[in-house]
Structure formats: structure tokens, C-alpha cells
Chains A and B, each alone.
Chain A
Amino acid sequence: MIWPLLSAISISLILFYKLFPFIFSLALSGHFLFSAVSSRAFEISAHISMFWALLNTSLLILISSFLAWSLRKERKLLYFLIFIPWAIPVYLTTMIWRFAIYGLNGSSIISSLGLPSDIVSSPFAAFFWASVLSIWLDLPMVTLSILGAIDDIPSETIEAARLDGASEMEVFFDVTLPSIRSVLESWFLLYMVRYAHSFTIPFLLVDGGVTKLNWVTPFGAIGNVTTLGVLNYRIFKEYDINQILGFSSATYIFLGAMIAIWIFRNREIFQKVSLSIFSLLWFAISGDYFSIIAAVISLLPRKCIAVLSLFFLLISGFKSLPFYILLVIWAFSGEWRPARFGKASKLLKPIGALLISLLALGSVITLLSVLLVAFTDYPDTLNVTNMNFGSLRDVLVDGYGKNMLNSLILSVPVLILSPIFALPLAYSISRKGLDWMLQMFLVLRTVAGIHILSMIFVIYAKMNLINSLLPISAVVISNVVPQVVVFMKGYFDSTPRELEEAALLEGGKSAARKIVFTMATPQISVGALMGFMAGWNAFLAPLMFLFDDSLYPTSVKLYSYVGDLMNLYPHWNLFGAGAILNLAVALLVFVSIKLLTGVLK
């Protein structure tokens, strides 16, 4: 009785936080939805988001595949390289990198390496570093997943290719990538959508990027990294509820359309029609007449699409977005043909070495920066010779302990409830073959972002739940449960049913449940830790839903020390000291996970 009830609660929870706000918002936003869609701000931001998403996703998938392939036999080195970007929360790494890149008036660790560092006024530097950091932080997850997929390729296939005389690069491009194509496609979709509404890095690192004259709109100046996430946050901060709901609904629909196109990519008719509709929608948003041509081209046979898209992309000065999408869909929807690399094959090793060095450098810069800002006494100057522990004392005197306690209050319900909700749901999905449900949850989670949080804010405001920690825990639980379900489902898939059947015969349903529960104890513990980390590192929801300093968790407190890019007086030393304390907790949890994983083995 309890298990179905818990499953029902977790499904309701996910739907309540990921789908209901959109329906609620759509019903209330009315003509504000249309004014948002037709605004110049939305048009520019959607354009930037798509370009940003396409570029970052393509690079991320390519680099991750390459890294997984190059280091598949050097796993310890791989784990070492991806440890820092994996272990440190994104909001923290981003602020650390802001110091590393921009430092003091552009005089920084990065500028001392002769690299562009002026993220305040150089559009290239702003876009470049936001992109580099995004890819670097997402590498661990994608690389590990691709590594898993590569492990599944039969070694005979690769050996056969080598015997046929294929070079290392040809084996990578012609054997490995086509063999893991379905994994790459899934990640491609996930990250396309995630990047299109990404917020933390574009906002915290470059404050939406650098603007230009014709990007100034009545909704403020749009910078070259003002993704839909950043735009929605600005609207949330500055405008009334109608505008907030209008923009967030428009964003939800836009992202939903992206997913629809992708899902239908292998059903030719649906794909053509949805691409055509998307191009026309794009014309309505941007007034880009090339989109009409794209709408027509998308209906033509596949073999015409690539040539015509490239041609019109050239004519449009590489500015018409639908052609990029047509090319991507074209690339993913047909057969992948073998390529010939010849002497270029020799480049594989130097490229690999360069990538590994850059990854290692990224970790060194992160650690060096956080140590420098944490143990430097001056709030505004970097004085290496005068390092001390004064900042650690100052941050504790400033009441950081209370912020840690708030983080704990926020995390503990997530720690307890995530596995309780996830376990019965994962079990049902595994045993009843309800994979579609899991996919739906993951899609809903992927579409969610700042825009959903804006909608939840309006709902919470009506329910008088703003400025309180527990309602934020509920948001975090709705985020983390699908992840924990994926993790636990994998375990149940690999567990023989016979054990439960035997228990069922012996002692009925309760005995069978008891067996399942007992066997899944390590998974429950890891699920609880995943929940704890999600709660401890929660940043966006507390940032938007709390306004009382005494309720801030560590994440928002750390942000309040340094503020945004143009903040006149950031306290880097307090930030650094707080970050060190936060990392100590993260390390503790990592060690716990490591120990539990040991139990799993």
C-alpha cells in the first residue's frame, strides 16, 4: 500500500514542479506571451541561445568523445583530470574563474598567461571564456557516459578495423563514433536544450556578456551571452508578474519545440513538418526572411538539404539560425560514412596531449585562485607575500556558520526524502518496463530552468511560501528524484527477479519488499548522498526565493560576497574563505561516496 502511494507522490511532485507551473503560467500570461515572443529582447536572446547551444554542444560532444577514447586505458589519469570540475559546484567554480580571468581590472592569472581577459568590454573574451568554462564543467559527466558506451563496443570490431589498416583517427571517427551514436544523440539533445537556457555561467561569469548598439532594447541591453536563462532572470528581477509569466511561457514553448524536432528526427514526415513549423515560428519571432526559405528546404528530400542549407547560410552571412539546425539534423539523421584522414591521423596524439594539458591547467588555475583569494588579507588586492588565515576567521565572525546551518536545514529533507520517493518509483519503472515515464521525467527536467522557477515563484507567492527554506527543499527534491531514479533503476534492472519471487512465495508481498529494501541499502545511501549534495549546492532557487540574509544558504551567501561582474566592492577574501569551508564539506561527502561505492563493489 505504501509503495504505490510513494510512487504516486513522487510522480505528482515531479509533475507539480515541472509541468504544472507551465500550464498555470500559460493560462495566466495571455497576450503577454505574444508580446514576449515578438519582443526584440526575446528575438536576440533566442538567437544567441541557439548559436551558443549549437557551438557548445558540438564541441562538448566532440571533446568528450575524444577524451574518453584517448584515455580509455588511462582511467586514473582521466578521473584525476575531471575530478575538480566534477567535485566543485558550478556556481562556485564560476565565481572562482571570474577572479582567475578578470582579477583586478583585467590583471589576473589568465592575463599573465597572455590570454584575453577583458570579459567586461571585449565581446570575444566574454563569449570565449563563458564557452570554455561551460564545456570544461560539463566534460566529466559526458566523458564518463561515453566511456561507458565505448566499453560496450566489442573489441573484435575495433581489432578488425585495425587489421584492415585503419589509422587511430579512422578507428575513432569511423568505428567508435558510429557505434556509440545513440549515446551521443541523447547527450546532444540534452545539452542543446540545457545550453539554450543556461544561466549560472553566462550570468555569474560575464553578466550576460558585452552588448552592442543595435542590441539595446526596451527590456535593457542584451549582451552577447544573454541566453534565455539570463533574460528570464532579468525579467524576473525587474518586471511585473505578467511580463514574468509571458517570458517564461515563451521560453518553455521554445525549448519544447526544440525537443519535438529532435524526437521526430528519425520519422521523416514529422521531422520535416516540425522543422518547417519551427522555421516559420522563427520568422515570426525574428523577422528573418531566410527562415521562410528554410521552411521550404526542410520539406525537400534529405540529399538536397545539406547543399541548399550551406548555400543559403552563406548568403545570409552565417546569420540565419534555421539553417544551422537543418545541418545538425541532417548530420544526425542519415548514415555516417567513413572518412579518410591520411596524414592527419598523426595529429591525434598531439591533440590529445594538448587537451589533457588544458584540462589539468584548468584544475590548477581553479585551485590556485581559490587559495589565493581565501588566504589573502586585503579585500581587493592580491598580496601573495601576506597570506594568512584572517579571512577564515572573518567569514566565521560574519556569521557564515549560520549560513552553513541553513544549507544543512535545506539539505536534510532532500537527503531523507529523495531515496524514499525514488526507490519505489525506480522499482516500478524497472519491473513494469515503464521506461517512457523515466524519459518523460528527464525531458521535463531538461526543459526546466530559471523560467520554471519564475513561474514557481508566482505560485509560491500566492501560497505564501516565499522566504522559507523548506519549500526550496521541495523544489530541489523534484530536481534530484529523476536522477536518483535513473541510478536506482540501473540497479534493479541488473537484479534477478527470482530472489523476490522466492521471498514472495515464502512470506508474501511484505517479505519481498523487505528483500528489495535490504538489498538496495547501498543504493539508498548513495541516493541520499546525491540528494544531500543537490540540497547543499542549490543556488538558483534560494537566490530567487529568499530575501532574508539570515536564511541564506552558503551558496547565496558566497554570491552576496562578490555580487555580479560590475559590483563595485566585492569581498573576494570572504568569498574565498567561505568557498574553502564549502569545499571541505564537498570533500567529506565525496569520501563518503567513495566508501559507499566500495561497499557496492
Chain B
Amino acid sequence: MRRILIGLTALLTTLTLPLTVWFSWEGENLFKSLVKEFSKETGIDVKVVYVPKNVDEKLLMAWKARAGIPDAVLLKNDEVGRLLDILEPLAPSKDLSRKSISAFTVNGKLLAEPVYLDIGGVFFYRGSIPNAKSVENLVELLKSRKNALMIPVYGKYYFQVFQRAFGQSTDLYLKDQSTLETLEYLIWMKKEIPYLPKDGRSAIGFFMRGTAKVLMFGSFLIPKFLEKGFEFGIMKPPFVERAGKRISPNLDYKGFSVVKGRLSREVKEFLNYVSSKKFQTSFCKPLYKIPSNTKAMATLSSKPLFKELLEYENYGQPTPTNPDSRKYYEAINTMLRLMMRGVEDPEALIEAGKKVLSGK
């Protein structure tokens, strides 16, 4: 009988279900190959599910439905606040940067193991941009050439890049001087540059074809640019002359969160692996992402383009982790879409944004 029990236990152990990990954004194949190495080393089987978009929504849906819940899921830091109630608080692994840990900390709880960050608000250029140290310089230089300067002023994720230059704190409120000044600044830009992009794809398209000389966008584009084989550079973060400060890029952190009740030994091992120097260096190097592991960051800091990106990281701030951040983005989106439609009264725009922010 005892032998049978031992045999059954052994059998059950071998039948353990694989860990399910949801993965999003760039690097799906690379991630899968690195996870295979992890499985080989530890014997822990991992099933990677690629979730192309709206991962936070889908996680909430799975949680509501109590079906298909993953063990670990790659999230953006501005998504974890909303998921506060369904994520396990974690203990930080060693060697992670302080900024990355604070980016995922809500109400004193670390809600994800930081892996890497993308930068939102990088100024790419093609050819030469003489004497362009500020956004105002760029506008002056390029406004007369159609589609030469691609600044996505209507993109809700880029609002804070300017807003922080005007002094906004990390709190989510709209009725303050920095919001007002940012709106005035964007309205000024809209008037100066009639061909401003209304969507990201055209901005990138114009830059890839060489029509646009300067493009402000996310660092995730670098591998795509390199793949296309054209020459480009990254400007030093430009000044906003009106604010007397440089732009403050968005630090878009990504990390693995664990759904409540799923923090097993295997999951902990997986988290240790993705926060290790080895994993982060291998994953971040070809994708031009900045690792959260300080040792991995030190290894990559001397590589081409990483130096420029680290300068952006220095001036940047993490995107807001507040539970209401989604509503905040929706409020900004409403203001910018109204502005696109021709509403150019900053006070009225702020009132509209506040209505959304105070919504149910």
C-alpha cells in the first residue's frame, strides 16, 4: 500500500501542470527561447501565451470569469495600480534599480518583478539638425517643410512628457498650472505646425521614408529602424524653452506580476530568473530595452544607442502607477481629441477632462 502511495505521489509530481505566463509587447520569440533555457535548467515547464494587447483588461476579465487565469503576467507599471486587488505583493529580487522598484510599488506593495523599461518621448533624427537644442528650435527649423517634424501631440501617452517639464508632480490631477501651461504649449505647437500627426503610424511612416527629419516616439522602434537599415540618431532630450527645462520622458516599465493565490515555488524561481542579469542582458540587448537589473544595465550601458537612452532615462519619470491612471489617460485623451477638433480654450479642455476623471 505504501509503495502504491509513493508511486502515486511520484506520478502526481511528474504530472504537475506547466506554469502559464502571459507575455506581451516586443520580443515574443526571444522570450520563448529564453524560457526554454529556464525550463531546461530547472525542469519547470512554462507555457507562454502571447497576449497582443490590452493585457490588463484581459486579466481582469479572466479574474472576473475565474477562467484561464495565468500564473504570471507581464504588465506595464501604469496598469498594476488598477489590478491592485488581484495581484500578489512580491519581495524584490536583488540588484534591481530603485527606480524600477518604485515604479511597481503601490500603497507600499511591490506588485511586479521589474524586467525592463521602454522610453516614451525619444527624439530620433535623420541627417543633421543644426543648433537644435529645444523643441522651439525644431519647430522653427522644420515647420515650413511638410511632414518634417513629427511630434505626436495628440497622443495621450506623450502629454506627461511635456507636463512634467512644466512642473507636474506624479499625482493625477488636472486643475493645476502645469496642465494649463502644457495645453497652451500644445495649442501653440498645433498652430505653428499644421501637419502634426494625428496618429502614430503615419509619423513613423514619414520618418522611415525619410520625409520626417525628426520623430518623437518610443524607444521600442529602434530594432525596427535598424532592421530597415537606414541611418538615424537620437538627440539629447531637448529643452522646452517656455518651461526652462528639458522634456521629461515617460519611463514605461514592464514587469512580471503574479495573480493572487499563484505564488508557488515554481513561480518564485521563474521571477528570480527573469530578474537575473543573464536573462535581462540577453533579452534587452537586441531589443534596445533598458534592463531593471543594475548589473545588466552596467553591461549594456557602453553599447551603441544605450548611452543616449540612459540619458533619457535620467531625465524621465515612471508613468503613473496610481489605480486611477487609466481614467487619467482617458481624461487626457478626451482633452486632446477635443483640441484636435478645434477647441482651443485650455480652461474648457480641463473642465472636460475633469468630468471624465471624476466619472463612475
A326 to B238, CA, bound (A): 61
A444, CB-defined interface residue at 8 Å: no
Contact of A549 among B49, B57, B333 (CB under 8 A): B49
> B329-360 interface mask toward A, CB cutoff 8 Å, 1 = contact, 0 = none?
01001100110111100001000100110111
**A57 CA / B61 CA spacing, docked (Å):** 36
Summarize A's interface: helix, strand, loop or mixed. Answer: loop
Taking CB atoms, residues of chain A closer than 8 Å to B147 are 105
Supposing A211-B334, A218-B356, A221-B356 touch, asked if A381 and B209 sit within 8 A by C-beta, the answer is yes
> Which single residue of chain A is at the shortest CB-CB distance from B205?
A380
Instruction: Fill in one digit per residue for A210-244: 1 if any B CB lies within 8 Å of its CB, else 0.
Output: 11110011111100000000000000010101010
**What residues of B have a CB within 8 angstroms of the CB of A213 in the complex?**
338, 343, 348, 352
B341 touches A123 (CB 8 A): yes
- Size of the A side of the interface (Cβ < 8 Å), in residues, is 46
Shortest distance between the CB of B275 and any CB in chain A (Å) = 25
- CB within 8 Å for A221 and B337 given contacts A216-B355, A547-B58, A568-B200: yes
- Cβ–Cβ < 8 Å partners of A221 in chain B: 334, 337-338, 352, 356
The answer to whether B360 touches A381 (Cβ under 8 A) is: no
Neighbouring A residues of B338 by C-beta, 8 Å: 211-213, 216, 221
Closest to B150 in A: A105
* Stretch in contact with the other chain, from B11-19, B64-72, B289-297: B64-72
In contact, A218 and B67 (Cβ under 8 angstroms): no
Interface segment, one of A174-182, A303-311, A416-424, A460-468: A460-468
Tell me the complex Cα distance, A121–B343, Å.
11
Cα separation A102 to B59 with both chains bound (whole Å): 32
47-73 of chain A: CB within 8 A of chain B: none
A106, A219, A381 — which one has the most chain B CB atoms within 10 A of its CB? A381
Q: At the interface, yes or no: A560 with Cβ under 8 Å from chain B?
A: yes
- A515 CA to B10 CA, complexed, in Å: 60
Most buried by A among B52, B199, B352: B199
| Complex: A219 Cα to B152 Cα, angstroms | 26
Contact residues, B185-225 vs A (CB, 8 A): 195, 197-206, 208-209
- Chain B residues whose CB sits within 8 angstroms of the CB of A572 once the complex forms: 201
| Cβ-defined partner of A216 (8 Å) among B203, B342, B352 | B352
Question: Which A546-584 residues sit within 8 Å CB-CB of chain B?
Answer: 547-550, 560, 563, 565-570, 572
Judging by beta carbons under 8 Å apart, are A218 and B202 in contact? no
> Does B267 sit at the interface, judged by CB under 8 A?
no
B49, B62, B64, B201: most-surrounded residue (chain A CB, <10 A): B201
Q: Mark A103-128, 1 if CB is under 8 A from B, else 0.
A: 01111000000000010110100000
Nearest-CB distance from B120 to chain A (Å)? Answer: 10
Among B62, B201, B205, B337, which residue has its beta carbon within 8 angstroms of that of A568?
Answer: B201
Chain A hits for B197, CB < 8 A? 105
Q: Is B50 an interface residue (CB 8 A)?
A: yes
User: What CA separation (Å) do A464 and B330 show in the bound complex?
Assistant: 31
Contact B358 A464 (CB under 8 A): no
- Chain B: interface residue count, which band? 35 or more
Alpha-carbon distance A381/B58, docked complex (angstroms):
31
Looking across the interface, which residue of chain A has its beta carbon closest to that of B155? Answer: A568
A237 touches B204 (CB 8 A): no
* Nearest Cβ on chain B to A523's Cβ, whole angstroms: 38
Q: Which residue from B51, B155, B342 sits with its C-beta under 8 Å from A547?
A: B51
Q: A380-B208, A467-B67 are in contact. Are A105 and B203 (CB under 8 A)?
A: yes
Interface centre among B53, B203, B356, B360 (most CB of A within 10 A): B360
Q: How many inter-chain contacts with C-beta < 8 Å in the A-B complex?
A: 131
Docked pose: A464 CA to B205 CA in angstroms: 44
Known contacts A104-B202, A568-B200; decide if A547 and B359 are in contact (CB<8 Å): no
Identify B68's interface contact among A121, A379, A381, A548, CB under 8 A: A548
Task: Decide if A378 is an interface residue (CB 8 Å cutoff).
Answer: yes
Interface centre among B57, B205, B340, by most chain A C-beta atoms within 10 angstroms, is B205
* A568 close to B199 (CB less than 8 A): yes
Name the residue on B nearest A466 (C-beta).
B65
Smallest CB-CB separation from B52: which chain A residue?
Answer: A560
User: A104-B205, A218-B356, A221-B334 in contact; A241/B51 too (CB < 8 A)?
Assistant: no
Q: Are B201 and A570 in contact (CB under 8 A)?
A: yes
| A212–B65 touching, CB < 8 Å | no
By a CB distance below 8 angstroms, the chain A residues around B352 are 213, 216, 221
Residue of A nearest to B69 (CB): A467
Shortest C-beta distance, B195 to chain A (Å), equals 8
Q: In the complex, which of the residues A212, A239, A549 contacts B341, with contact meaning CB atoms closer than 8 Å?
A: A212
Whole-angstrom distance from the CB of B126 to the nearest CB of chain A?
A: 15
Cβ contacts under 8 Å, A548 to chain B = 49, 51, 68
Chain A residues within 8 Å of B57, by CB: 237, 547
Q: A121 is contacted by which of B62, B206, B340 (Cβ under 8 Å)?
A: B340
CB distance from A92 to the nearest CB of B (A): 18
Q: Among B208, B341, B358, which residue has its beta carbon within 8 angstroms of that of A211?
A: B341
- Docked Cα-Cα span, A105 to B200, in Å, equals 9
Which residues from chain B contact A105 at a C-beta distance below 8 Å?
Answer: 147, 195, 197-199, 202-203, 206
Q: Please give me the residue from chain B that is nearest to A107 by CB atom.
A: B202
| Residue pair B51, A549 in contact (C-beta under 8 Å) | yes
Inter-subunit contact B50/A220 (CB<8 Å)? no
B288 to chain A, nearest CB (A): 16
B67 touches A464 (CB 8 A): yes
Contact between chains at A466 and B341 (CB < 8 Å):
no
Which residues 466-510 of A have a CB within 8 angstroms of B?
A: 466-468
Complex Cα spacing A378 to B68, Å:
35
Scoring A107, A221, A464, A570 by chain B CB atoms within 10 A of each residue's CB, the highest score goes to A221
Please name all residues of chain B whose beta carbon is closer than 8 Å to the beta carbon of A118 when the two chains form the complex.
198
Chain A residues positioned under 8 Å from B67 (CB to CB): 461, 464-468
With CB as the reference atom, state the residue of chain A lying closest to B221.
Answer: A569
With A239-B360, A243-B360, A466-B65 as contacts: A210 and B49 at CB distance below 8 Å: no
- Residues of A contacting B333 with CB < 8 Å? 566
On whether the beta carbons of B208 and A378 are closer than 8 Å, the reply is yes
Whether the pair B51, A380 counts as a contact (CB closer than 8 A) is: no
Contact residues in A for B359 (Cβ distance below 8 Å): 217-220
Which of B65, B195, B205, B334 touches A220 (beta carbons < 8 Å)?
Answer: B334
Residues of A within 8 A of B195 (CB): 105
Partner of B64, one of A104, A210, A241, A381: A241
Given that A120-B340, A378-B208 are contacting pairs, would A217 and B51 also be in contact in the complex, using a CB cutoff of 8 Å? no
- Verify A218–B358 contact, CB threshold 8 A: yes
A107 surroundings in chain B (CB, below 8 A): 202
Closest to A210 in B: B341
Given contacts A467-B62, A548-B49, contact A218 B355 (CB under 8 A): yes
Measured CB to CB, the closest approach of chain B to A560, in angstroms, equals 5
* Contact partners of B330 in chain A: CB under 8 A: 220
Inter-chain CA distance A241–B198, complex, in Å, is 34
When the two chains form their complex, are residues A210 and B62 in contact, meaning their CB atoms are under 8 A apart? Answer: no
Q: When the two chains form their complex, are residues B199 and A566 in contact, meaning their CB atoms are under 8 A apart?
A: yes
CB distance from A382 to the nearest CB of B (A): 8
Among A348-394, those with CB < 8 Å from B are 378-381
Contacts of B356 in A (CB 8 A): 216-218, 220-221
Q: In the complex, what residues of B have CB within 8 A of residue A121's CB?
A: 198, 337, 340-342
What residue of chain A has the Cβ atom nearest to residue B357's Cβ?
A218
A65 to B202 CA separation, bound complex (whole angstroms): 41
17 contacting pairs across A/B (C-beta < 8 A): A105-B199, A105-B202, A105-B203, A107-B202, A121-B341, A218-B355, A219-B359, A380-B201, A461-B65, A464-B67, A467-B62, A549-B50, A550-B50, A567-B200, A568-B200, A568-B201, A569-B204
Please name the 7 residue pairs, one residue from A and one from B, whose CB atoms are nearest each other, closest first: A105-B202, A218-B359, A568-B200, A547-B58, A466-B65, A380-B205, A461-B65
Q: Which B residues are within 8 Å of any A CB, using their own CB? A: 49-53, 57-59, 61-62, 64-68, 147, 152, 155, 195, 197-206, 208-209, 330, 333-334, 337-338, 340-343, 348, 352, 355-356, 358-360
Further 18 A-B residue pairs, CB within 8 A, beyond A221-B337, A467-B62, A567-B200: A104-B202, A104-B205, A105-B195, A211-B341, A212-B341, A213-B338, A221-B334, A380-B201, A381-B205, A461-B64, A464-B65, A466-B68, A547-B59, A547-B62, A548-B68, A566-B199, A568-B201, A569-B201
